[in-house]
């Protein structure tokens, strides 16, 4: 199915932080309902899902902007942190070696009213192109369960399930995935 492209993909700026935060909450609350319980969703929004300003500062985070506002976001990273916004305390900001380590695909969220219109695929294409240009030969990510079908269709393969225990003791099931460029 083809959709008319009525959005622009651009690099995120620090001025986008609040809009990205709202987008993440809307996306997680509505698109995750068939995969996670409400307590898991709210706990993840509070402690893990969020804006990662390192990605914005590095120029590797993109937003899809529509006349109604931001409708998608996602990025890639040359840093060791695999997932988590600024509020996630288990982060490693050191840089990756493109010759031996995969770039990280990070923080993809689509507004529920704009889901399944190709926005995430366009953002992912930007990420793959830039990571490849940066010398990376592979990509890895930690997928939420609603994201697994998208990443599988984009050529990622499942590596291992991961149970992330959040600070309040709630467990969020995730899946590590990988793709060769």
> In the CATH hierarchy, which fold is given to the domain comprising 7-137?
Aminopeptidase (3.40.630)
Distance of alpha carbon 26 from alpha carbon 146, whole angstroms: 14
Q: Where are the alpha helices (DSSP H) in 32-171?
A: 38-47, 53-58, 119-133, 148-153
- Longest Cα–Cα distance of the chain, Å, equals 43
pTM metric for this prediction: 0.94
Strands in 138-144's sheet, in edge-to-edge order, are 7-11, 61-66, 69-77, 103-110, 138-144, 171-180, 157-165
For the chain, which residues make up each domain, given as ranges?
7-137
pLDDT at 138: 98
Per-residue model confidence (pLDDT) at position 2: 45
By three-state DSSP, how is residue 115 classified? Answer: coil
Share of the chain above pLDDT 70, in %: 96
Q: What is the pLDDT of residues 28-37, one digit of tens each?
A: 999 999 999 9
Mean pLDDT of the region 26-53: 97
Q: What is the pLDDT of residue 83?
A: 87
CA 107 to chain centroid, in Å, comes to: 2
pLDDT of residue 4: 55
When pLDDT is cut at 50, 70 and 90, the band that residue 86 belongs to is confident
């Amino acid at each position: 199915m083809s959709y008319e492209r009525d959005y622009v993909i651009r690099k995120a700026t620090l001025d986008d932080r609040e809009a990205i935060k709202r987008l993440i909450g809307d996306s997680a609350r509505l698109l995750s309902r068939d995969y996670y319980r409400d307590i898991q969703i709210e706990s993840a929004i509070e402690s893990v899902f969020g804006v990662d300003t390192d990605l914005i500062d590095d120029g590797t985070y993109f937003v899809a902007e529509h006349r109604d506002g931001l409708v998608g976001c996602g990025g890639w990273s040359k840093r060791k942190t695999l997932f988590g916004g600024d509020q996630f305390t288990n982060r490693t900001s050191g840089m990756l070696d493109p010759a031996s380590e995969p770039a990280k695909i990070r923080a993809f969220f689509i507004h529920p009213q704009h889901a399944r219109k190709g926005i995430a695929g366009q953002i992912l294409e930007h990420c793959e192109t830039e990571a490849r240009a940066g010398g990376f030969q592979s990509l890895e990510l930690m997928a939420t369960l609603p994201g697994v079908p998208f990443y599988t269709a984009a050529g990622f393969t499942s590596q291992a399930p991961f149970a992330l225990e959040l600070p309040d003791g709630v467990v969020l099931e995730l899946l590590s995935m990988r793709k060769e460029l």
